[in-house]
Amino acid sequence: LNALTGQRYYYQPSANLGVGGDTVADILARITDLAPLNPDIVFWCSTFANDITGSTSEQDLKDDFDAIAAYVKNTLGAVLVAGTPLPRNHSGGGALTAPQQTLLNNLKSYVLAQTVADGVIPVNIYDNMVATGTDNPDPIKFDNEGGQLLHPTPAGAYQIALDIKSVLENIYGNYDIPDMSTCDLGLNSDLSGTGGTENSALASATVADNWNFYSYSGLTGTVDKTGSDKQLIDISYTDSRSYDIWELQATDISTGFVEGEEYYMEAEIEVIATSNVRMGVCLEPTLNSSGSYKAMSPYDINAWPDTFAGTLHLRTPNFTIGASDTNIDPIFWGQMNSVGITSSDEIIIKQARFVQN
């Protein structure tokens, strides 16, 4: 959602209070955990996710929903963005019973009947997540976990984000990706010039100043500059490696940042086309004083899913500079699928910057 909306609704991962397996009653029991965060908007992306196959009555579920919405509105002074229940099935892949599907449908209708005056912005995240002509989860948009289709795949998460984005833009309007053309820490933020280097399987590559392109053997394609002087990466890969296949690394930043202060990275990326990729592109600030790659994980952000096309604004979580963090290595990287499947990745990296929070 944030990648699609210029990070308008960005929050730190610590503000994600979701707990796997929680029922609505569980959420209500710890609703006061929201208070220290002082939120303006509370996102509850899939209401009643773990209640459809439970034993709580429909009326009790609705009453608990009302209590949660009332707390968010009246105590926090915030608005609740509430997604409908998602479609689901039973373990082993069986469909819900008729009474369970009726309960789901009734709760979906109840959520969609809420209004902004109630302190709730309802979002229908059900209809675009079902298999065509059924009430069953779309197997492309849910992981198959032993026959259960419960958790969205990247493609499913992307669809949910589109549904939420559409509703929020009708209320709050659009939000443009901010300008990132300046960076005080020596990073070539707009990826201009052609003085960069490459260490790759390609015969040649044209790379932006102060950036280096690296890849593994078996990669084919083009790394070049666009007519507007941005960095184009248009590559394919067939060999059986399922990890990061290419990397675009900035020259190390070794001065200008302050120990104990918080920073983040952000980037504007246009995804033209991808096929059979695990990640079209990932943005990561690596603290490489120890020489280890991906040292900042999970402080990275991925452009998902496969087959997505469009412009994204990626932003990493905040990270704090420690005493041993003498260099920062901004990296873009991509993962392709393996076992002989041809994967392709065509993206334009337009802007990137490293920012003190």
* Alpha-carbon dihedral angle through residues 299, 300, 305, 309, given to the nearest 10 degrees: 130
Kindly write down the DSSP assignment for every residue of 274-285, as one continuous string. EESEEEEEEEEE
Spell out the residues 6+ positions from residue 335 whose beta carbon is closer than 8 angstroms to its own: 242, 243, 244, 245, 277, 278, 279, 282
Structure tokens at 137: 């989860």
Spell out the residues 6+ positions from residue 144 whose beta carbon is closer than 8 angstroms to its own: none
Spell out the residues 6+ positions from residue 181 whose beta carbon is closer than 8 angstroms to its own: 189, 190, 351
Distance CA 349, CA 321 (A): 26
Minimal CA–CA distance to 285: which of 248, 247, 240, 332?
332
H-assigned helices in the chain:
24-29, 58-70, 98-112, 154-172
Looking at residue 41, its pLDDT comes to 95
Spell out the residues 6+ positions from residue 170 whose beta carbon is closer than 8 angstroms to its own: none
Distance CA 329, CA 248 (A): 10
Looking at residue 321, its pLDDT comes to 83
Residue-by-residue pLDDT tens, the chain, 357 positions:
887 887 888 777 788 899 988 999 999 999 999 999 999 999 999 999 999 989 999 999 999 999 999 999 999 999 999 999 999 987 667 788 999 999 999 999 999 999 999 999 999 999 999 998 889 899 888 888 878 888 888 788 889 999 999 999 999 988 777 676 666 577 888 899 999 999 988 988 999 999 999 988 888 999 999 988 999 999 988 876 656 688 899 888 888 888 888 888 888 889 898 888 777 777 777 765 443 333 334 455 666 556 678 888 888 877 788 887 778 888 888 877 655 678 888 999 998 888 787
Looking at residue 145, its pLDDT comes to 81
The CB-side HSE value for 356 (13 A sphere, CA atoms) comes to 9
Looking at residue 296, its pLDDT comes to 39
